[in-house]
Amino acid sequence: MAYTILDCYTDEPAGLGVPPYLGTYPRYIYGYLNQNNKSIKYITIDDLRNSKGINEKRSIQKTNIKRYNTTRSADETKEILNSTTELIIIAGVHTPGKYLSAVPGTLKEIIQLTKELNCKKTLTGPAVYGTSTEGGKFFEKADLSNFNEIKDFNFSYEEIDDFAVKGAGIIKQIPGLRIIELETSKGCSRKEHCSFCTEPIKNKISFRPKQDILKEAKAFTKLGVKYFRLGKQSDYYSHPEAIGIIKEIRKGCNPNVLHIDNVNPVNVVSKKGIEITKAIVKYCTAGNIAAFGVESFDPEVVKQNNLNADPEVTYEAGRILNKYGRERGESGMQKFLPGINLLFGLIGESKTTNEHNVQWLKRFMDEGLLIRRINVRQVDIFEGTPIYNTVGNKFIKKNKKFYWKWRNEIRQNIDFPMLKKLVPEGTFLKNVRMEIYDGKTTFGRQIGTYPLIVGVKQRLELNKFYDVEVIGHMLRSVIGRVKQ
């Protein structure tokens, strides 16, 4: 058998696999197939687009991000596909965003590009539970008969122990820079779940043993990887060894970047939570963010959707992170700050919902607390979730007319002044990696979790690192000048 893994990229509430991130799905599957030393190739949707001459329009003005993450030439991709006997297609976006230098494949596109391939086609990844690359929508409907099999590999942690280490070898087939998204747990530790979330449908709660996480990080380190994010989990703080994991990765791998992602604010507000916060500041690298899945500060929406943290708890968690993490680190960014995720279209949303959001965010500002970034999305509706089973897209339809205004209120009144406090003019940001061109401007960012986008008004070499001085602010990004 000749296996090929086709990575069309994944984005879930608990886990990111859109370049520059390399998700867990291709790695574990590579390790699983690798057990018997079979021939396993890894290609991306960008390789496939490239090999088919799709989106070929060349613009010297703007970088083509649909073909940015190729791993090999078009001819080599064609050869691989011709000799493939089984194509394992990884796809699925549950929390769509805008990506600076990648575009995940939609089902429609994947089907279009693979329908003529003469091999077995297996669809896996979050797409098994649906996918949507645009906010505020039902999951994408498509004719799935293109695939011979739809399969959730759903490996246990005993299996992953072996597959993750063997899977690290996949990196040898990827010439571009990648951040490795490491997994610490699956499922959700809450008894009652949030109305919109797919995580409890996909997984029962279980924690990955610390030693296994470390073994995987070491395997990647041996292969030259220097960038890690502990992002594949619904709450980093709930892992019983949250401190030991980062301490040992720091000691055993000494990565250039070590960040975390999702955090339940409830678990920050405790003696143990404070200890974990201090350890994260100590062992991780600067620019780190605890993304709080707040979703809404409207008490009615919190109640009706069974959301995780009430506003007071979120505020207190934000205060704790500011207390220990707001000092500027070596990269030029603060060491560790809260990020806030908001969701429009939830059950019970009303005309006054965003007033609650703005009021609470203003409280952070007025009391001098920093929020590193605010993500605002529209909910996507997936089969099996409580929102799907009750109201569907009723509230999105009802309130859609307000969303631009609501988002803009947050951007103008909170994000913009907050950004000026976070990185005032004259701040130096180290190691900004230039990624794309748009006209005469080059856009780049530091490596890590939700890094700030920096626009420099000159054409700089892509994939190269520059130290940059902040000389101006946009709503959510900064204008920089290369430090001479």
Q: How far is it, in rounded angstroms, from Cα 59 to Cα 371?
A: 37
- The pattern of x and - marking residues 5 through 34 that bind ligand SF4 according to CB under 6 A reads --------x---------------------
Q: Output the smallest distance, CB 398 to ligand SF4, in A.
A: 23
Q: Does 398 bind ligand SF4 (CB under 6 A)?
A: no
Q: Does 123 bind ligand SF4 (CB under 6 A)?
A: no
Structural contact between residues 50 and 81, judged by C-beta atoms closer than 8 angstroms: no
Burial class (CB in 10 A: 0-12, 13-18, 19+), 460: middle
Q: Residue 197 or residue 257: which is nearer to ligand SF4 going by CB?
A: 197
- Single-letter amino acid code for the residue at 274: I
> Taking Cα atoms as reference points, which of 81, 52, 47, 79 lies closest to residue 66?
47
Q: Residue 194 or residue 269: which is nearer to ligand SF4 going by CB?
A: 194
Using CB under 6 A, which residues numbered 305 to 334 contact ligand SF4?
A: 308
Beta bridge partners of residue 228, listed in sequence order: 180, 258
Phi-psi sector, 295: left (phi>0), alpha (psi -120 to 50), beta = left
Angle of CA points 450, 231, 236, to nearest 5°: 115
Q: Output the smallest distance, CB 262 to ligand SF4, in A.
A: 7
Structural contact between residues 456 and 399, judged by C-beta atoms closer than 8 angstroms: no
Q: Output the smallest distance, CB 190 to ligand SF4, in A.
A: 5
Count interface residues toward ligand SF4 (CB under 6 A): 11
Rounded to 5 degrees, φ, ψ at 7 are -95, 110
Which span sits near ligand SF4 by CB under 6 A: 51-59, 195-203, 328-336, 386-394?
Answer: 195-203
CB 121: neighbour CB atoms within 10 A? 21
Which span sits near ligand SF4 by CB under 6 A: 100-108, 196-204, 240-248, 341-349?
Answer: 196-204
Q: Residue 308 or residue 449: which is nearer to ligand SF4 going by CB?
A: 308
Give residues with Cβ within 8 angstroms of 38, minimum separation 6. 1, 2, 3
The one among 18, 87, 171, 188 contacting ligand SF4 by CB under 6 A: 188
Q: Residue 130 or residue 167: which is nearer to ligand SF4 going by CB?
A: 130
Structural contact between residues 149 and 199, judged by C-beta atoms closer than 8 angstroms: no
Using CB under 6 A, which residues numbered 232 to 261 contact ligand SF4?
A: 234
The one among 27, 49, 166, 193 contacting ligand SF4 by CB under 6 A: 193
The one among 20, 31, 105, 293 contacting ligand SF4 by CB under 6 A: 293
- The pattern of x and - marking residues 197 through 226 that bind ligand SF4 according to CB under 6 A reads x-xx--------------------------
Query: Strand, helix or coil at 89?
Result: strand
Element (H, E) at 292: strand 288-295
Q: How far is it, in rounded angstroms, from Cα 13 to Cα 237?
A: 16
* Site of interaction with ligand SF4 (CB under 6 A): 13, 188, 190, 193-194, 197, 199-200, 234, 293, 308
